[in-house]
Structure 1
Amino acid sequence: MEIRAGKWRKVSLFCPKYTAVFLFLVVFAVYFLQRNINLLETPAVANVTAVHQLFQNKTTPTTPVPNRQHINCSHHQLLPEERRLLDSIAWPETPRLPVPISLKTTSDPAHSTFTILPVRAGGQWHVGDELEALIQIRDFQGRPKHFGGDLVIARLHDRTLGAGVAGRVVDHLNGSYTAVFPLLWEGRAQVEVTLVHPSEAISVLHRLTMEQPNRLSYFSLFRSGSVSETVACNECLPPTQPLCNYTDLHTGEPWFCYKPKNLSCDTRITHFRGSPKHNLMAKEETLFRSGVNMKVSIRASGCNNITVLPKEKGQPEVKSSTVKPEPAGYYYQGAWRALGGATVHQFNNPSAISQCLTDKVVHMYGDSTIRQWFEYLNSVLPDLKEFNLHSAKRTGPFMSVDMARNILVKYRPHAPPLSWTVIPANELHYVANELDGIVGGSRTVVVLSVWAHFGSYPIEVYLRRLLSIRRAVLRLLDRAPDTLVVIRTANLRALTLGIALTNSDWYTLQQDRALRAVFKGLNVHLVDAWDMVLAHHLPHEIHPRPPIIKNMIDVLLSYICPQEKA
């Protein structure tokens, strides 16, 4: 073996004179390659901090991490794409809260009002028009607020018709808001406006997320023989003692546990959640009072309903709105009708559902809101039998089979953070890794829902998880373009003080916006759980009630069988 450089003479690399140099170069090259091979193979870890690069064991993710390093929720510098996504979902800035808080200067739904704006021309509303309502937020002294940032939601509905549509709320950043609704049915339509959180409460939620990202505590049981220890774990874990590093080698997703005193890192048995700890400042809890200033209706100044006439000749059913995004659909006679995209069919009996799913494999990954879909299909399809995998009732994985129709439906939870029960550590699988194990094809359906356990973390943590899944979805669609991928979005839920501080609708809204931004432009389909829960008359719940779930399944099946007539 020899090299040539310009006019210089040939030099044998095996000449004893150069042997030491050659060996040094080889050793350095191997070391450098070993240090960086994961970065070359996995874009997700291209910007993981030196902490992860230095202490990540290449054969097992259980290497103790010296506590001299600082580890927090950031873990890497934001890429330009991530910064752009964060900027697109930024919430309006609000003035700094006084210490202590004075409730009388904060947003009060009882003093706030909304007014239906008059029709611009003709004096009547027709199907295809838009209705606007002006909302004025006032404080507990009845004085108009002069800045925005409140979380306000709105819907237009009629219980008699079983009709409802989510409104789009525009923040004018001066204490006033406009709710915009498309008029989609004839007859009566009533406006409902709700203050979910005053802007002052959102400032507290933002502070908690930045200062206390580990306020939801997690633990793992370690055991070897008769020796067992339980230690704290988290994505954001202060390195006050040696850590076990469970960062996923493929996705780069970080997770840590404190190293047990008498056991090794590879003796980890289970994962579970502890009690939340919230360090609120004086009087901050007064900003989260149900029935006072958290998820409370705002009254109308004047009439709160209108009568919608048939559409005028030549007028489209729905005009394109200047307020984006437009609603995904609406309810009429209790059934969901999509606005754009695939037509939603009604799958009202087991035979129609079974016919649609015949010869299909349905993979469901995520949190309990997608497990609810798995449970629904099992409850309505008598021939779909759950195979006993001896999994814990609320944990999974689960698998159901209809042998006669060749239907297979599977569910697996996502990796940490998970909050609902004790789960074996070896069942903590990252969704991206699961997707990379799917062959895909025209008979494969992938259903995802990952959001409900990320509320207590900075949005960057959730965004990183989404981008990891996005890359895996792209790889799946590259090798099997006819694979159907359906994503369930986040939805509103009932709020108490404890739930609001870790899983507020404000956190959920940020996640919902991030998810839509990350998957925009990909060949994936959304089931818009946010709009479907907001538009319905049933109460907001983390696990929506059966009528809403039935409509969600109808949307899913309409994607799977777009020509099916139920």
Structure 2
Amino acid sequence: MFIVVLCVLFFSRVNLKVCIPASGPAGVTVLPKKEGQPEVESSIVNFQASGYYYQGLWRALDGTKVRQFTGASAITQCLKGKVVHLYGDSTIRQWFEFLNAALPDLKEFNLGSSRQTGPFLALDYENKIMVTFRLHGPPLRFIGSMKDIRYIANELDDLIGVPNTVVVFGIWAHFGSFPIEVYIRRLQRIRRAVVRLLGRAPKTVIIIRTANPKALLLDVAINNSDWFSVQCDKVLRAIFKGLNVHLIDAWEMVLAHHLPNNLHPQPPIIKNMMDVLFSYTCPQKGG
């Protein structure tokens, strides 16, 4: 009965996620502060956007110089001689698929694994590039073989930490239906593994993908809404604060884009995320 009532009250594009037209001018005029006007501080609202889009390109406000890596040659030059390990869920698998599609010389090696779970391995012999993907450990929202599923902390502990290693992970989407304590404990284990990795290989580049808002269909809104994802996002930022890691703010990058929210962001957003990843991997000299 409860679900039926919800179906009646809330319809996408009818009374849910509907644009509200302005009753007056749609623009906002920002006036300079008057001389002597006191500063107003709020102890409740403390929010600063991490960036914005201009002409379809992401501009970071945290000091990160985001470069545009256009074409296979620019990406290949950045990743030349590097090993890139990707760990996480299907939103990280999107990045492996992006690299496979963007780099014609990067050839996926057939491991005979499931396209849903992996693991995956791709090699560019000439440019000495290796890219791997491995799904994070349970909880997972599908049924399949668990023989190739490993925890991220264990994978990080197995890394030797050779030069030019890039570690990327994102873990959030499968945890929204569980108590936040489960997510906290998982991130704490990963954090300890990150500390150990940086201890034996301090030049390892570690990049973390945050959560992002989704399309709020009825079943998603009830069982795994963006409210749960926000909690995961806050926890992740708190646990890794102070470590030598980089965050890709997927939440802001999806929310700020004109394309609709989606669990798996559309290609233009993915391209901008990858540009941030490459900018962290290959920072501009002198910048």
Scaled by the length of structure 1, the TM-score of the pair is 0.46
Q: Which letter maps to 2:144? A: I
**What's the CA shift for 1:433?**
0.7
Partner-residue secondary structure (3-state), 2:147: helix
Q: Does 1:390 align with 2:102?
A: no
Query: SS where residue 138 of structure 2 aligns?
Result: coil
Aligned partner of residue 123 in structure 2, secondary structure: strand
Give the C-alpha shift of residue 286 in structure 1: 5.6
The residue aligned with 2:236 is: 515
Q: Would the aligned equivalents of 2:153 and 2:193 in 1 still touch at CA under 8 Å?
A: yes
- CA-based RMSD of the aligned residues comes to 2.4
Q: 1:471 aligns with which of 160, 170, 192?
A: 192
CA contact (8 A) 1:287 1:294 kept: no
Tell me, yes or no, if the aligned pair for 2:134 and 2:149 is still in contact at 8 Å. no
Q: SS state of the match for residue 28, structure 2?
A: strand
User: 1:530-545 maps to which residues of 2 (within 5 A)?
Assistant: 530-545=251-266
The normalised TM-score by structure 2 is 0.89
In the alignment, structure 1 residue 443 sits paired with structure 2 residue 164? yes
Residue 305 of structure 1 aligns to a residue whose secondary structure is coil
Deviations 1:375-398 (A, max 9, x none): 001001000000010111121000
Aligned counterpart, 1:404:
126
Q: Is 1:413 aligned with 2:135?
A: yes
Identity of aligned residues (%): 60
Match of 2:178 among 448, 457, 460: 457
**Segments of 4+ in structure 1 off by > 2 A?**
279-304, 306-309, 321-325
- Give secondary structure in 1 for the equivalent of 2:280: helix
Change (3 A) 1:513 1:550: same
Counterpart of 2:25 (choices 283, 303, 326) is 303
Note if contact 1:558-1:564 (Cα within 8 Å) is conserved in structure 2.
no
CA contact (8 A) 2:49 2:61 kept: yes
Q: CA deviation at 1:308?
A: 7.0
1:481 is the counterpart of 2:241:
no
* Structure 1 unaligned spans of 5+: 1-278, 313-320
Q: Which amino acid aligns with 2:76?
A: S
Return the alpha-carbon distance in structure 1 between the equivalents of residues 265 and 4 of structure 2. 35
Q: Which amino acid aligns with 2:49?
A: P
The answer (yes or no) to whether the contact 1:345–1:564 under 8 Å persists in 2 is no
Is the 1:359–1:405 Cα contact (8 Å) retained in structure 2?
yes
Q: 1:554 to 1:491 in 2, by over 3 A?
A: same
Aligned length: 277
Residue 333 of structure 1: aligned partner: 55
Describe the shift of the 1:530–1:353 C-alpha distance in structure 2 as closer, same or farther (beyond 3 A): same
Residue equivalent to 2:73: 351
- Bigger proportion of residues as strand: 1
Provide the C-alpha distance between the structure 2 equivalents of 1:299 and 1:463, rounded to a whole number of angstroms: 41
The DSSP-based 3-state class of the residue aligned with 1:446 is: strand
C-alpha distance in structure 2 between counterparts of 1:440 and 1:294, whole Å: 48
Q: Mind listing any 5+ residue stretches in structure 2 that lack a counterpart?
A: 34-40
AA of the residue aligned to 1:477: L
Q: Cα distance 1:286–1:517, how it changes in 2: closer, same or farther (>3 A)?
A: farther
The structure where helix makes up a greater share of residues is 2
Give, in angstroms, the shift of residue 497 of structure 1.
0.9
Moved more, 368-377 or 505-514: 505-514
Query: Is residue 375 of structure 1 aligned with residue 97 of structure 2?
Result: yes
- What residue is the counterpart of 2:46 in the other structure? 324
* Cα offset, 1:460, TM superposition: 1.6
- Residue aligned with 1:538, SS: coil
The change in CA–CA distance for 1:308 and 1:351 in structure 2 (over 3 A counts) is farther
In structure 2, the CA distance between the partners of 1:308 and 1:460, relative to structure 1 (3 Å rule), is: same
Q: Shift in Å at residue 424 of structure 1?
A: 1.5
Q: Which amino acid aligns with 2:141?
A: S
Helix, strand or coil for the counterpart of 2:66? coil
| DSSP-derived class of the 2:98 partner | helix
Distance in 2 (alpha carbons) for counterparts of 1:523 and 1:492: 26
CA deviations on 1:465-499 (whole Å, 9 max, x unpaired) are 11111111111111111111000011111111112
Counterparts of 2:20 and 2:184 in 1: how far apart (Å)? 33
Alpha-carbon distance in 2 for matches of 1:366, 1:490: 11
Q: Distance in 1 between the 2:47 and 2:163 partners?
A: 30
For 1:406, give the aligned amino acid: K
